[in-house]
């Protein structure tokens, strides 16, 4: 294998890695992910509240699920602030 072929393979690996990183980032910021997490949170808490015999467990599990969803929506803001104000100072 010559140097040119090795470099082309390395570039292809880097391009594939970049595509994977872009896909992961798209998933992390997608509305679908946030909705799925909110539903799974609601279900998990609803099951737990049912198991411990809380009145109206499915209604009561809405509050923590909404709180979780709100926290995921605000994380982007805090990340931007952290990157701008704190992370840059460490470099």
pTM: 0.69
Cα of 71 vs its chain's centroid, Å: 11
Under 8 Å between Cβ of 33 and 44: no
Measuring CA to CA, which residue among 33, 41, 74, 73 is closest to residue 60?
Answer: 41
pLDDT tens-place string over residues 30-85: 889 988 999 999 999 999 999 999 999 999 999 999 998 888 888 888 888 888 88
Instruction: Give the residue from 48, 47, 39 showing the smallest Cα distance to 69.
Output: 39
By C-alpha distance, which of 81, 16, 44 is closest to 89? 81
């Amino acid at each position: 294998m010559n140097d040119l072929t090795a470099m082309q393979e390395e570039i292809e690996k880097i391009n594939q890695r970049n595509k994977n990183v872009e896909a992961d980032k798209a998933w992390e910021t997608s509305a679908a992910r946030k909705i799925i997490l909110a539903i799974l949170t609601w279900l998990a808490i609803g099951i737990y509240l049912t198991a411990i015999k809380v009145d109206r467990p499915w209604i009561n599990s809405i509050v923590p699920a909404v709180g979780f969803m709100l926290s995921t929506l605000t994380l982007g803001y805090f990340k931007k602030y952290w990157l701008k104000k704190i992370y840059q100072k460490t470099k």
